[in-house]
Amino acid sequence: MFGLIGSFKAVPGKRRELADILLAGVGGMPGCRSYIVAEDPREDDTLWITEVWDSQAAHQASLQLPEVRAAINKGKPLIHAFGEHRETRVVGGHGL
């Protein structure tokens, strides 16, 4: 399984709006086992996204889904900066 751990800095004041856009419709992505959006309590505008996919190919393919492309377009103006980006090899766990 392919994992991602990443962070974004939202435009000031827009973090929750960006989180809601990222969360809308994440249920239906083929090959997506986990997609979690969280706020950093110590950095006002930072969001953390952690994802688990069947494979890196499944993640890549998701970026072409019309609803994901629409979410990216809607969210992009609310992103101030990209932060962490780590790819992982998921061994296993609860909630997959």
Judged by CB under 8 A, the chain residues 28 through 87 that form the site for a second copy are: 29, 32-41, 48, 50, 52, 86-87
Q: Which of 13, 30, 77, 93 binds a second copy (CB under 8 A)?
A: 93
Nearest distance from residue 94's CB to a second copy, in Å?
4
Nearest distance from residue 35's CB to a second copy, in Å?
4
Nearest distance from residue 86's CB to a second copy, in Å?
7
3 close to 49: Cβ distance less than 8 angstroms: no
Judged by CB under 8 A, the chain residues 8 through 27 that form the site for a second copy are: 16, 19-20, 23, 26-27
Nearest distance from residue 54's CB to a second copy, in Å?
13
Q: How far apart are the first and last CA of the chain?
A: 10
3-state secondary structure 9-72: EECCCCHHHHHHHHHCCHHHCCCEEEEEEEECCCCCCEEEEEEEECCHHHHHHHCCCHHHHHHH
84 close to 37: Cβ distance less than 8 angstroms: no
CB nearer to a second copy: pick between 24 and 70: 24
